[in-house]
Amino acid sequence: MTIVVLDGYALNPGDLDWAPLRALGEVAIHDRTPVDQIVARAEDAEVVLTNKCPLSAETLARLPKLKFIGVLATGFNVVDVAAARARGIPVSNVPIYGTRSVAQHVFALILAHTQRVETHAAAVRAGRWSGNADWCFWDTPLTELDGKVLGIVGHGRIGRAVADLGRAFGMNVIVHSRSAKDGVEQVGLDELFQRADVVSLHCPLTPETQGLVNAKRLALMKRDALLVNTGRGPLIVEADLAAALNAGRIGGAALDVLSSEPPPADNPLLTAKNCLITPHIAWATKAARARLLGTVVDNIRAFAAGKPRNVVN
């Protein structure tokens, strides 16, 4: 079996072992592949693995030996799945690998906003505490989460894991979802934005959810509320969020995803007030990436055995 990895660096920058994948056949691993080189690198491949390299209908038509596509992620919009299906090529993703890691990052973002640990640690390192007139100081309000309302949009695996952590902090959880579970309090979307002290987005990106967070919904939020997004960047109208932050209409935003990644330098959120942005790393703990790689290998083994799994098309 001939396997080509088009963009493996994000999954494995060197701290994981490709050996289980190499054991499956002849493997070529590329850290990154420019779009204009995809066909040249994959033209002899039976199996192509991609994370963000796009596999369009036109590209698939130029890969006659291709029999299976593995996506190194949960989202599979980089592949024209209909075109792959028409050519009899199954496409498999990795639906479960980073639930706890993403939920952990959500609370890292929340706590970064409520406690400003890095800000105060930097102040101590700069000598502020040593020269302080009192035995303590703080430069920003410090917020206790107990009793606050955590509003979760989307109640899949990650949403439920975030809810569990919220309850551990004593937060009251409300949910907006088409399929809320576990007896949680389910509310309408506008009510969630009105009531929540923290809104955390965990819904899929669909035509219905694109731009879900816009000027109208931001206007419903409490003035000290925090918006968290570890889901998909286009869930938010970024110009609207930047305007709300700069006008002080909400307390802050903490984002791990943006509409375009890497973002252009003129993205208004990069300079917006009270906006904390991390570079799409919620998924990227070593444990989560190891699970992802293991599932990809299992997907290929299942395909080779004639029983493809995690097929999305």
Question: Choosing from 87, 280, 291, 301, which is the catalytic residue?
Answer: 280
Q: Is 261 a catalytic residue?
A: yes
Give the torsion sign (CA, 24, 26, 30, 36). Answer: negative
In which residue are the tokens 């009105």 written? 194
The catalytic position among 261, 289, 291, 301 is: 261
Closest CA to 58 of 95, 87, 31, 33: 87
The number of CA neighbours under 13 Å toward the Cβ of 51 is 19
Q: Is 232 a catalytic residue?
A: yes
The answer to whether 46 is a known catalytic residue is: no
Written as six digits, the tokens of 26 are: 């002849």
For the chain, give the longest Cα–Cα distance: 74
Residue 88, Cα to own-chain centre: how many angstroms? Answer: 30
Q: Which of 160, 232, 238, 289 is catalytic?
A: 232
Q: Are 53 and 38 in contact (CB under 8 A)?
A: yes
In the numeric block, the tokens 């907006």 are attached to 176
Sheet with strand 47-50: strands edge to edge: 26-29, 2-5, 47-50, 68-71, 91-92
Catalytic residues, which ones?
Answer: 232, 261, 280
